[in-house]
């Protein structure tokens, strides 16, 4: 009674109660599903075994015995958390060790890690751009980068996805005096496209842009030994900042910003996402550090990932499905409208395939899709099973 009276008087509670988006989400019950058990690339939902096809466990290291042991050892040695920000409570040896390893791996002088990829990627534009600057941003970048762009107070202009010509066009009309930044991804998370750095960076150089690249989906996947998109194009030195996530190929949670020592120290002085946020936990840092060691010493995981990716894309091609020319293990199946993509998702679900659907505005209009991700843990039988399920599901969509 009191609660409903309060609701009527409180505009925020009324907005929450009437929210159509939440009602729709709850009615269709697609997202936030809760498996009760997990083993490798399998999860169990309501007692039913399902094949996981949406997780970004690219190298399949989230169950690697060395990773699990590292988490146990780190928790035993350091406890569960630093329970505060590094600025106040101090860094720990496991933070600086991971930072040094990651920086060297990425071909950068220094690196700073935080407790989430979202925080790290948000902090890059939020920290390095400021009011009066202009940010040039690929129109398809991840939400974390957009949050940082908005927070920076800088103005921004979008350019066409992966379109260096358009970037040059947009810049032609801009004042030469403004400080300018370029914000892109190395591998686009929904599309699986690789940024054409050999086309974008000459434009960036010509216009003296400070360059920020989010490589959440490139690390561990592209480049020599998995060193990422910059290494893939042999341009690591040219990028001012490479940021990303520890939650994909490195099978942990957390994020990083890498650059010159000067750039990283500036971030540590100014980034609110670092200064006012608790450090990454000992266990999560240990998982990422061990995954990085495994990446260097056990190339077979990457080899299997790429074998699987080629095999899976052949299946999609044979079925005539549109995977948006994905060049990586992040593989969308573009269907184009909400109703049909929902029907496909549901049929796959009923067939024991766990996927996630993404609809506009999360993807461009007309690109509603099922987002799938290939892992080194998938077997050929798993991928054949997905192919069979897709064949049945797409017969009459």
Ligand X SMILES: Cc1ncc(COP(=O)(O)O)c(C=O)c1O
Q: How far apart are alpha carbons 307 and 329 in whole angstroms?
A: 10
* 3-class DSSP state of 60: coil
Nearer to ligand X, 124 or 201 (CB): 124
Nearer to ligand X, 107 or 255 (CB): 255
CA atoms within 13 A on the CB side of 351: 21
Closest separation between CB of residue 121 and ligand X, Å? 4
The pattern of x and - marking residues 159 through 198 that bind ligand X according to CB under 6 A reads --------------------------x---x---------
Closest separation between CB of residue 33 and ligand X, Å? 17
The pattern of x and - marking residues 142 through 161 that bind ligand X according to CB under 6 A reads x-x-----------------
63-92 positions binding ligand X, by CB under 6 A: none
Burial readout 27-52 (b: 16 or more C-beta within 10 A, e: otherwise)? eeebeeeeeeeeebbbbeeeeeebbb
Q: Which of 287, 285, 281, 302 is nearest to 219 (CA)?
A: 302
Nearer to ligand X, 247 or 394 (CB): 247
Task: Quickly list DSSP for 184-216.
Answer: EESB-TTT-PBP-HHHHHHHHHHTT-EEEEE-T
Nearer to ligand X, 355 or 394 (CB): 355
Closest separation between CB of residue 56 and ligand X, Å? 7
Nearer to ligand X, 373 or 393 (CB): 373
Give long-range contacts, CB 8 A cutoff, 24+ apart: 64-67: 64/251, 64/290, 64/291, 64/294, 66/290, 66/293, 66/294, 67/251, 67/287, 67/290, 67/291, 67/294
Q: How far apart are alpha carbons 238 and 65 in whole angstroms?
A: 37
Nearer to ligand X, 122 or 203 (CB): 122
Tell me: does residue 382 bind ligand X (CB under 6 A).
no
From 60, 255, 259, 329, residue interacting with ligand X (rule: CB under 6 A): 255
From 58, 94, 105, 118, residue interacting with ligand X (rule: CB under 6 A): 118
The β-bridge relationship of strands 210-214 and 42-45 is unpaired
Closest separation between CB of residue 250 and ligand X, Å? 10
Closest separation between CB of residue 140 and ligand X, Å? 10
Q: How far apart are alpha carbons 149 and 125 in whole angstroms?
A: 5
The pattern of x and - marking residues 203 through 242 that bind ligand X according to CB under 6 A reads -----------x-xx-------------------------
Fill in the DSSP letter of residue 224.
Answer: G
Q: Interface with ligand X by CB under 6 A: which residues?
A: 116-118, 121, 142, 144, 185, 189, 214, 216-217, 245, 247, 253, 255
């Amino acid at each position: 009674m009191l609660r409903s009276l309060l609701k009527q008087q409180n505009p925020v509670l009324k907005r929450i109660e009437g929210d159509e988006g939440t009602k729709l989400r709850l009615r269709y019950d697609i997202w936030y599903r809760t498996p009760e058990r997990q083993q490798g690339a399998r999860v169990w939902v309501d007692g039913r075994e399902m094949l996981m096809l949406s997780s970004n466990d690219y190298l399949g290291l989230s169950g690697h015995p060395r990773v699990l042991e590292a988490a146990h050892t780190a928790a035993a040695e350091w406890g569960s958390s630093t329970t505060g920000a590094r600025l106040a409570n101090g860094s720990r040896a496991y933070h600086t060790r991971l930072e040094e390893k990651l920086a060297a791996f990425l071909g950068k002088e220094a690196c700073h890690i935080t407790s989430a990829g979202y925080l790290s990627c948000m902090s890059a534009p939020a920290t390095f751009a400021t009011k009066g600057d202009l940010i040039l941003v690929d129109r398809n970048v991840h939400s974390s980068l957009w949050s940082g762009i908005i927070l920076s107070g800088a103005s921004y202009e979008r350019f066409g996805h992966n379109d260096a010509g358009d970037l040059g066009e947009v810049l032609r009309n801009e004042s030469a005096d403004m400080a300018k930044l370029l914000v892109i991804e190395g591998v686009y998370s929904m599309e699986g496209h690789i940024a054409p750095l050999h086309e974008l960076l000459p434009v960036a150089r010509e216009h003296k842009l400070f360059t920020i690249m989010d490589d959440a989906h490139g690390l561990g996947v592209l480049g020599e030994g998995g060193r990422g998109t910059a290494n893939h194009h042999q341009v690591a030195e040219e990028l001012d900042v490479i940021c990303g996530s520890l939650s994909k190929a490195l099978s942990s949670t957390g994020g990083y910003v890498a650059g010159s020592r000067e750039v990283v120290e500036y971030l540590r002085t100014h980034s609110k996402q670092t200064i006012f946020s608790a450090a990454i936990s000992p266990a999560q840092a240990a998982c990422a550090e061990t995954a990085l060691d495994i990446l260097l010493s056990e190339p077979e995981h990457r080899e299997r990932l790429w074998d699987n990716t080629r095999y899976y894309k052949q299946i999609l091609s044979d079925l005539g499905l549109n995977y948006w020319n994905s060049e990586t293990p992040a593989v969308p199946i573009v269907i184009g409208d909400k109703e049909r993509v929902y029907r496909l998702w549901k049929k796959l679900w009923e067939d024991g395939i766990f996927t996630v659907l993404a609809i506009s505005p999360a993807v461009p209009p007309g690109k509603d899709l099922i987002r799938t991700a290939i892992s080194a843990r998938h077997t050929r039988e798993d991928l054949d099973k997905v192919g069979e399920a897709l064949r049945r599901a797409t017969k009459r969509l």
